[in-house]
Amino acid sequence: MRLRFNSSSLVSGVAAVMLLAVVSGCAKSPTDDDKPKQVMYQEVYDPLEPMNRYFFDVNYALDALFLKPVAEIYRGTLPYPVRDSVRNFLTNLSQPVYFINNVLQGEFNRAGDNMGAFFINTLWGVGGLFDAAQLNTHEEDMGQTFAVWGAPEGPYLVIPVLGPNTTREAIGGVGDYFIDPVNIVSDNNDWDYVPVTLWVVNGIDARSRAIESLDEIEKNSIDFYATIRSLYRQNRANLILNGKGNPAQLPDMSFDDDDAPTTKKN
């Protein structure tokens, strides 16, 4: 299998993301006399906040104009079993890249599940339309792999169209694009529109599943940008830990000394 992606497109993809990260070095942090702001700054690490907020608004407008209406039509016209099959099909096509990432993370049991699910669902699930395997596999991307390898997160980024990210996740996204066997096969067969079509359909389906919840979050939030940022971060942490988060790492909620718990059990 010949990799037709030449090295220059990979380099330019990574370079674009690195440029964003370098720009963050020029970002200013709050001055010392603003202590709470400084502490919060360290906690959220969003040095590019003004630029991120701008792109957040751009994405919000694009969503309102294009993605959300299309997602609503998609949900309104297609019955639930059909949309379920679409999701199954897309998940199935992602199993190879999940497999690669699980192997890279040393998660061989999970990788086995990915491979098993892919074959069972393709053969018995009518090309992936039905989840015959019911193995409950989880999405794994290169950003998570980098995290498992110990790479730091980098600044929070809101990328036009792609939405919330961090430097590590963004580079991971570029990596996934190049190692995804589906993309490689499409490229070798000159199926130019396959990766884009899959990406668009995935976006519409995912958006259709989050219409009410995002509306609710927005309605109740006093800073939608900050809410999404926090949700994104916590969700990433969850994905990286594969749900095995240690509950004892939940923040301390004791305020008076005589009120604090004395033992920490696991």
Min dist. Cβ of residue 234 to other proteins (A)? 4
Do you know the residue count of the chain?
266
CB of 192 to other proteins, least distance (A): 34
- Contact between 32 and other proteins by CB under 8 A: the answer reads no
Site for other proteins in 153-212 (CB under 8 A): 209, 212
Of 9, 27, 37, 197, the residue at the interface with other proteins (CB under 8 A) is: 37
Stretch that binds other proteins, among 62-70, 139-147, 196-204, 249-257 (CB under 8 A): 249-257
Q: How far is the CB of 226 from other proteins (least distance, A)?
A: 4
Q: How far apart are CA 167 and CA 157, in angstroms?
A: 7
Residues 6 or more apart whose CB falls under 8 angstroms from that of 180 comprise: 96, 97, 195
Chain positions 83 to 112 lying near other proteins, rule: CB under 8 A, are none
Question: Does residue number 253 form part of the binding site for other proteins (CB under 8 A)?
Answer: yes
Decide if residue 261 touches other proteins (CB under 8 A): yes
Nearest Cα to Cα of residue 155 among 10, 23, 39, 55? 23
**Residues 205-224 within binding reach of other proteins (CB under 8 A):** 209, 212, 216, 219-223
Tell me, by CB under 8 A, how many residues bind other proteins: 41
- Considering only 14, 21, 44, 120, the residue that binds other proteins (CB under 8 A) is 44
Shortest CA distance to 14 belongs to which of 178, 193, 199? Answer: 178
Beta partners for residue 163, in sequence order: 159
- Smallest separation (angstroms) from other proteins to the CB of 86: 14
Smallest gap from Cβ 259 to other proteins, in A, equals: 7
**40/65 with CB nearer other proteins:** 40
Residue 177's SS3 state is helix
Burial of 102 (0-12, 13-18, 19+ CB in 10 A): buried
Residues 6 or more apart whose Cβ sits within 8 Å of residue 61: none
Handedness of CA 124, 129, 135, 140 (dihedral sign): positive
CA dihedral 70, 72, 78, 84 (to 10 degrees): 100
Site for other proteins contains 2 (CB under 8 A): no
C-alpha distances in Å from residue 27, one per residue of 49, 58, 214: 9, 21, 30
Question: Pick from 15, 35, 73, 82: which binds other proteins (CB under 8 A)?
Answer: 35
CB atoms within 10 A of CB 178: 16
231 touching other proteins, by CB under 8 A: yes
Shortest distance in whole angstroms from residue 104 CB to other proteins: 23
DSSP string, 93-114: HHHHHHHHHHHHTT-HHHHHHH
Q: Does 229 bind other proteins (CB under 8 A)?
A: yes
> What residues line the site for other proteins (CB under 8 A)?
35-37, 39-40, 43-44, 80, 209, 212, 216, 219-223, 225-227, 229-231, 234-235, 237-238, 243, 245, 247-248, 250-251, 253-255, 259, 261-265
